[in-house]
Structure 1
Amino acid sequence: MNTLILNHHPKQSKAIDLSAKQRFEDLKIESITNLALHCDKRMLPILANAYDMSIDGLEEKEARKLISKALLLDRYNGTTWAIKEALKAVFPTAVVKEWFNYGGEPYFFKVKVSTSEISFDERTLALLDRLILEFKNVRSVLESIEIEIESKSDSFNASVEISGEALEILPFQTTQISSKQKPSFNATGVFICEISKTNIDFKGVY
């Protein structure tokens, strides 16, 4: 890089020139662009200000998409197309229904947003409302916002009903006894034997 500082210029100018020379030599020229989809993220607020567009509350990806459509949105601002395209920066499936599409009052319109990825918190709802109001015309009136959340859960619910009877078995009780034994006769005899023992002394008989 050639210098524009002459010998008679003050030392401060030479120091600034040397610093700028070093910064520009390290700069990658091919990365310099004002295209919103490819520029350095630090350029986004500058581009938004140049196009008189607000990106407050937008994430980087959302801001890039919105700024990339800035010229067309400015040209067709106030139309249904502009509202739809602005919303697509954040809500890709956004649909705008005008009053004659659903039999409503003249100049009224509805917005329907379907999503399975974006969670609708306070920030998202405020952003949705702001984009609509920013790109609609003064005459049109927002009647309602329909939010449709799709679930891709693979889980399923099932229910089972089991019924039955409880039986209680009481202790067994005999109600009737029937005997088929043939009659028999038994005889019992008693034999009595008496034994007596006597001691006889024959001494002196002879």
Structure 2
Amino acid sequence: MGVVQKGGGISAGAEEGTQHFRNVRQARSGHRSTAGLGVKLAVCIAGLGLLLGCAGAGGPVEKWQMTKDQAPQAAQAQPGAMKPVAVVFYREAGGANAKQPVNVYVNGQYQASLVGNTYTEQNLCPGQHTLAAHFNDVAQRYSTKLAGRPAHIDSRPMQYFKVTEGTDGQATLTPVAADQAARLTSLQVRQAHTLARVTRSGCSAS
């Protein structure tokens, strides 16, 4: 049995019991910390193993196809709607800025981003439309899509517009006769790395 000290002091036995409790609590706390660290380490190892397993499983690797070897296609009529025509926008290989994309917009909506020697097409119904072409216009928050020029689309099944670069460095769209456009190599490679957002085709079903 511990000896009680005079003057209201605690007993030696009680002090030893308190120290023993502290030691047990510290040991348990250390065990919990070690266990928590072990769980975190296990999760990290499992995640790393999953990544390595995916990379080394021999599965298909996602690749973007920037272009597609395909000639322009005639528009297909939809039941109950006006008969659309194929409107083709193309850009030739030459030019000082041929590698810099030009954004093409139809009726204020994004169609495609063309580099040299590529084309894109959209089905539109005959009538009045607004067409625009601009180099990278992110600084204008793409508001240039609304600054297009009016263009009349007639009933010919295939109609062509060429992206040209003016002396002021601005891109424009110029109509081209079908027989002239048919001889161009730039109409053999379709731009395919972005999706058109055009829904205003001028057809009753749009």
Query: Would you say same fold, with TM above 0.5?
Result: no
Please state which structure has a larger fraction of its residues in strand: 2
Please state which structure has a larger fraction of its residues in helix: 1
Higher relative contact order, chain-length normalized (CA < 8 Å, sep 6+): 2
